[in-house]
Chains A and B, each alone.
Chain A
Amino acid sequence: MKIAVSSTAPGAEAQVSPIFGRCNCFVVVDTETQAVASLANPALGASGGAGIQSAQYIVQQGVQAVISGNVGPNAMQVLNAAGVDVYAATGGTVAEVVAALQAGQLEALTGPSVAKDFGKGGPMGGMGGGRGMGGGMGRGRGL
């Protein structure tokens, strides 16, 4: 089985990344041959749709499973549509989480674990921005 792990760096000893669409790297492990391939995430610099692009890229690698700290809704939809199983891992190295998956210790994700744009920092690295939408959007009004 081929498993893609979202990771913070290349190699089997890298830490699993808490995010999917904008993780630094994907490490693909083939559990039959023990081959390890580290792939740069092509969507890292995308201004939008990073989850979609990276999920499509992972599907193209012919993997059967994905392990990531979290997966957003769009990426989840792509992985589900392609029949790729998704598992959550909160920490550990690539090698450790792959072993945990094989031992049946990882939780399968069926829905997104984080909201859209979870891993998308602004140019300042923050997650802020926007403004409140308060004020009540009542419809019982003239216009």
Chain B
Amino acid sequence: MRLVIASGKGGTGKTLVATSLALVAAERATGSDALPALLDADVEAPNVALFVRAEVSETVAVERLVPVVNAALCTHCGRCAEVCQFNAIAALPTQTLVFAELCHGCGSCALQCPAGAITEEPQPMGRVTLGQAAGLRLGEGELQVGEAMATPVIRALKHEAQRRGWDGEALTIIDAPPGTACPVIEALRGADAALLVTEPTPFGLHDLRMAVEVARDVLGLPVGVAINRDDGGDGSVAAYCAQEGLPVLLRLPLEREIAAAYSDGQPLVTALPRYRPTFEAALDALLALAEEAQP
């Protein structure tokens, strides 16, 4: 079973929700074969490890292919720069420059070079770290600074976890990157249900709508909503959920203690055990939502 915690924008409390759900799941798991996994797919700024400390057991490099021009073969015809949709190549009269950070690895330039001067060579773009904490398997994807494309690192993270059988019978919780672009779609793909974290503000509502569009409308996933910093003020998020038939599975109040635990790097259910039943109920509801939708 794979559950993804996502939100339309950063800073809504996605990691807070994901870590506490995973810890609650870990407490329940029995027998080491059924260890739940928590994957940090927010690869541009992974931070799950700040809350759940783990023993690293493996690090896997993630590479991508970038074109390399053999200056001895290049005839400076300019074809490569012409075919590149991303302006990643400058073909100058006596030199051909490749800007690797703009390259999307489509391979067109190598394919089209009439002189066979371009080869594609692997270049590191990030890494996947795998480890274990008390009762929990942990995976983290990290995009190297300066790299623009998060999606391949997220794909690698999911793949490495799957390859090790983390998925199988046990529960996997994925902390998705914020937003609604390609990296989020990659994190959501293959999920059994998504929990969308938002705030009861006009901005929160706007971002929630966009996240619902991606998770429910585009990917067809069962979707639940978590309302964080719920001060009972703006009811528009709750009204929207009611109107769309989206179940609100978790509500966390606007509380100083919650913020303090978070900034201390403490998972909420560890710092404030009184929230444990809240997360247990949310996890059950999310699992039920996912199961209902199973064929």
Taking the closest CB of chain A, its distance from the CB of B101, in whole angstroms, is 9
Most chain B beta-carbon contacts within 10 A, residue among A56, A137, A143: A143
Q: Compute how far the CA of A138 lies from the CA of B44 in the bound complex, rounded to whole angstroms.
A: 14
Take A142-B49, A143-B53 as given contacts and tell me if A49 and B102 are in contact as well, using a CB distance cutoff of 8 Å: yes
Take A131-B11, A142-B54, A143-B49 as given contacts and tell me if A43 and B87 are in contact as well, using a CB distance cutoff of 8 Å: yes
Q: Compute how far the CA of A77 lies from the CA of B100 in the bound complex, rounded to whole angstroms.
A: 13
- Contact flags A48-73 to B (C-beta < 8 A → 1, else 0): 11101101100100000000000000
Closest to B44 in A: A133
Interfacial chain A residues near B10, Cβ < 8 Å: 131-132
Closest to B94 in A: A82
Cβ of A74 under 8 Å from chain B: yes
The answer, among B50, B86, B91, B93, for a CB contact under 8 Å with A48, is B86
Q: Compute how far the CA of A143 lies from the CA of B140 in the bound complex, rounded to whole angstroms.
A: 8
Take A56-B81, A56-B92 as given contacts and tell me if A143 and B54 are in contact as well, using a CB distance cutoff of 8 Å: yes
Taking the closest CB of chain B, its distance from the CB of A111, in whole angstroms, is 17
Taking the closest CB of chain A, its distance from the CB of B132, in whole angstroms, is 9
Closest to A141 in B: B49
Take A142-B53, A143-B138 as given contacts and tell me if A48 and B95 are in contact as well, using a CB distance cutoff of 8 Å: no
Tell whether, in the assembled complex, residue A59 and residue B93 are in contact, meaning their CB atoms are under 8 Å apart: yes
Cβ of A135 under 8 Å from chain B: yes
CB contacts between A and B, total, < 8 Å: 77
Taking the closest CB of chain A, its distance from the CB of B280, in whole angstroms, is 25
Interfacial chain A residues near B29, Cβ < 8 Å: none
Q: Compute how far the CA of A74 lies from the CA of B98 in the bound complex, rounded to whole angstroms.
A: 10
Interfacial chain A residues near B54, Cβ < 8 Å: 142-143
Interfacial chain A residues near B44, Cβ < 8 Å: 133
B:44-63 near A, CB below 8 Å: 44-45, 47, 49-50, 52-56
The answer, among B88, B95, B133, for a CB contact under 8 Å with A52, is B88
Interfacial chain A residues near B178, Cβ < 8 Å: 131
